[in-house]
Amino acid sequence: MKKIVPDPPHFSQIPEGTTLSDAIIEQFVPVDEVVSSITHYLLLAYNHSRYFIESIENPALRESLANGLGAMQIAWAQADALALALERKPNLH
């Protein structure tokens, strides 16, 4: 599996070459902002995928994508709940 190396969010002042995980550990990037970014990108991915699912003619392929979107919704809901919890109780991180 390819290792994913995400770019740190561009709104933070982070030393060049710092990974997102290091930026979080060093508190250059607040955890709640990362979780909010996750929910935002999950929303975008879900909406883009959901829009095209109806155009897929192969029933097995459409069902597979629908299952993937269902898993994405679960991850999205959990990330959203974590974002809300961090917002209400910042000392969780």
The two most distant CA atoms of the chain are separated, in Å, by 49
The string of pLDDT tens digits covering residues 17-63 is 777 778 888 888 888 888 888 888 888 888 888 888 889 999 999 99
Residue 7, number of CB atoms within 10 A of its CB: 9
Residue pair 27/44 in contact (Cβ under 8 Å)? The answer is no
What was the pLDDT predicted at 1? 44
53 contacts 65 by C-beta, under 8 angstroms: yes
pTM given for the model? 0.70
Query: Which band of pLDDT confidence, cut at 50, 70 and 90, is reported for residue 16?
Result: confident
8 A C-beta contact, residue 34 and residue 23: no
pLDDT given for residue 63 in this prediction: 93
pLDDT at 82: 87
The owner of tokens 């999205």 is 76
How would residue 93 be classed by pLDDT, with cut points 50, 70 and 90?
low
